[in-house]
Amino acid sequence: MIFSNCKNLEISGLKHINSPKFHISITDCHYANISSLQIIAPPLSPNTDGIDIASSSNIFIHNSTIKTGDDCIAIKGGTSNTTISEIVCGPGHGIRFVIFSHTHTHTHTYGGSGFARNITFSNINFTAVENPIVIDQFYCPHKICNNKVSTI
């Protein structure tokens, strides 16, 4: 599902199973309330992000379960004022969640420029997590990468 150029978006009560790529994409949206979702993909499925957010603001994601092979929630460039709470995430990769189980938790930048600031992690329960929190400006999912200069 792709949502683009929207205001006052409401997504609730949906169940996504085995999407071949990302499940929900939100781009250039402002004031979104996303809740009560169940997103499921096999643990080793590549590029099956639960929710991708880019160039959006005032996004509230809560009360959902996201179990994918990739990022539970990916927050990309140009996004601000995003609140994520009451999320069950894992397996897969996660970002700013309340409950993590068998995950790798990363905040990535993909060679863009800008900043990461005012990030708060609180009241988090980690279970069998390899890297609890990583903020990585040189993220490279491939063997050969050109991320050698700080972009943040």
Catalytically active residues, by annotation:
70, 93
Residue 38: partners with Cβ closer than 8 Å, 6 or more residues away: 14, 15, 16, 64, 65
**Contact of 52 with 82, CB cutoff 8 Å:** no
Cα separation of 85 and 62, whole Å? Answer: 5
Residue 143: partners with Cβ closer than 8 Å, 6 or more residues away: none
**What does DSSP assign to residue 43?**
T
Q: Is 27 exposed, middle or buried (0-12, 13-18, 19+ CB in 10 A)?
A: middle
Secondary structure class of 61 (helix, strand, coil): strand
